Amino acid sequence: MNRYPFDADYLRRLCEGDPVTEKHFVDYFTQRLAIKWWKRGYPKSTVEDISQETIKRVLIKLRSGNTVQSPESFGAYVFRISDNCVFEHIRDIAKINQLDDACLDIASRELDGEQKLVRAEKCELVRRTLKQMKRRDARILIAIYIDEIDKDNVCAEYGITRANLRLVLHRAIVRFKDIYNSEKGRSPRGSGV
């Protein structure tokens, strides 16, 4: 696209509201601003809003007596105002996306008294379950799931292969679930634990 050679006479006509000059100004910059902001990934509706706001601001500034120091750099002046419109648009979106004051009432992650009691009962139930299991199965479950020991190290410690570990773990988990569920039925709080 060729650049238009802006001059002082063009700006004077624009300030005076010459309809032909205004139409050229609007058409020329609407097209160029659209290309600039579409290339940067802005949606069509946002590009249109930015273009309209830019044109409005330029006309207001020019007609309020603010003159452009170098008429030949009028295009850069318009694009700078457009950049400011985009920055304001981004700030507005950021303000909208911020949490409002109602979000300050988010529940605390700390446990209340009842939650602590339930957790303590579940921990005790897990301990009782592990005590009733075969010692080796319980230790393997603890090593893998609680202590998070590397599976290769667990295999070496218990003298089993990595392929066999899957089978041993599966059987231990099934036994754990069976014992846990039967213990849960005997729990003081019943099946609600």
CATH number where 146 lies:
1.10.10.10
**Within a domain: residue 108?**
no
**CA 162 from centre of chain:** 39
pLDDT of amino acid 191: 46
Q: How many domains does the chain have?
A: 2
Are 158 and 138 contained in the same domain?
yes
pLDDT of amino acid 42: 85
Give the mean pLDDT of 154-182. Answer: 90
Residues of the chain with pLDDT > 90, as a percent, come to 37
pLDDT of amino acid 29: 93
Are 121 and 93 contained in the same domain?
no
The SS3 call for residue 187 is coil
**Within a domain: residue 86?**
yes
Are 97 and 118 contained in the same domain?
no
pTM of the full structure: 0.49
pLDDT of amino acid 103: 55
pLDDT of amino acid 58: 93
Residue 57: pLDDT band by 50, 70, 90 thresholds?
very high
Residue 104: pLDDT band by 50, 70, 90 thresholds?
low
**Within a domain: residue 41?**
yes
pLDDT(100) > 90: no
Secondary structure of 99-116 in the HEC alphabet? CCHHHHHCCCCCCCHHHH
Note down the domain range covering 159.
113-192
Are 18 and 96 contained in the same domain?
yes
Q: Where are the beta strands (DSSP E) in the chain?
A: none
- The model's pLDDT over 42-55, given as tens digits with 9 standing for 90+, comes to 888 888 999 999 99
d(CA 133, CA 123): 16
Inter-residue contact 58 to 33 (CB < 8 Å): no
Inter-residue contact 130 to 144 (CB < 8 Å): no
Token pair in block for residue 191: 């099946």
Q: Is the dihedral of CA 176, 181, 182, 183 positive or negative?
A: positive
**Within a domain: residue 27?**
yes
Inter-residue contact 183 to 125 (CB < 8 Å): yes
d(CA 134, CA 76): 80
d(CA 24, CA 59): 13
CATH number where 89 lies:
1.10.1740.10
pLDDT of amino acid 192: 46
**Within a domain: residue 82?**
yes
